[in-house]
């Protein structure tokens, strides 16, 4: 049959492992596919595109739950688009917050690393710093 792919070929075409594809199916992001008499899954072009949609969402850092919501919107073309905008905007804010936090961590770690002048562990400023900032840190909420 034309345009009917087994899971392995779908995997190579989409860059998504067979395990993940089966996982998405179990979670309800993919419809249950047709099966051969022996039980092999067979996918059509629409399924390929749906998997591509999921992978692109994942590559943007969206979680599977958000992707599922976006797919549901896509499945109901008459619904309002605002929900999609909400999901994307929320995720963008989440990303920006995470970037800010990681940048703060990197800055602190850069300081720590610069203090190391070699020598023995007993004098190591990296280790000392981890001990020193300890309690103050949880009080300041700098974690």
Partner DNA sequence: CTAAACCCTGTAATCGTTACAGGGTCAAGC
Partner DNA sequence: GCTTGACCCTGTAACGATTACAGGGTTTAG
Q: What residue ranges bind DNA (CB under 7 A)?
A: 6-9, 11, 17-20, 22-24, 36-41, 58, 63-65
Q: Coil, helix or strand for 6?
A: strand
Q: Which two tokens mark 70?
A: 């976006």
Residue reference for tokens 């749906």? 50
- Asked if 44 and 4 count as a contact pair (C-beta separation under 8 A), the reply is yes
- Asked if 80 and 43 count as a contact pair (C-beta separation under 8 A), the reply is no
Could you say whether residue 22 binds a second copy (CB under 8 A)?
no
Could you say whether residue 57 binds a second copy (CB under 8 A)?
yes
Strand partners, 43: 5
Applying CB under 8 A, what is the total number of residues that bind a second copy?
A: 61
Closest distance to DNA from the beta carbon of 23 (Å): 4
Could you say whether residue 18 binds a second copy (CB under 8 A)?
no
Q: Which two tokens mark 18?
A: 């067979």
Q: Coil, helix or strand for 22?
A: helix
- Site residues (CB under 8 A) for a second copy? 13-15, 49, 52-53, 55-61, 70, 73-74, 76-82, 84-85, 88-89, 91-92, 95-96, 98-99, 102-103, 105-106, 108-110, 112-113, 116, 118-124, 126-127, 130-131, 133-135, 137-138, 142-143
């Amino acid at each position: 049959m034309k345009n009917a792919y087994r899971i392995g070929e779908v995997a190579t075409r989409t860059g998504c492992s067979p395990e993940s594809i089966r996982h998405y199916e179990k979670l309800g992001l993919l419809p249950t596919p047709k099966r051969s008499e022996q039980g092999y899954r067979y996918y059509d072009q629409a399924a390929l595109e749906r998997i591509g949609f999921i992978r692109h969402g994942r590559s943007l850092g969206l979680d599977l739950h958000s992707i599922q919501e976006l797919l549901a919107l896509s499945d109901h073309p008459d619904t309002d688009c605002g929900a999609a905008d909400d999901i994307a905007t929320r995720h963008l804010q989440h990303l920006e917050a995470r970037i800010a936090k990681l940048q703060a961590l990197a800055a602190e770690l850069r300081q720590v690393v610069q203090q190391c002048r070699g020598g023995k562990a007993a004098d190591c400023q990296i280790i000392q710093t981890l001990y020193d900032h300890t309690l103050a840190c949880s009080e300041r909420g700098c974690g």
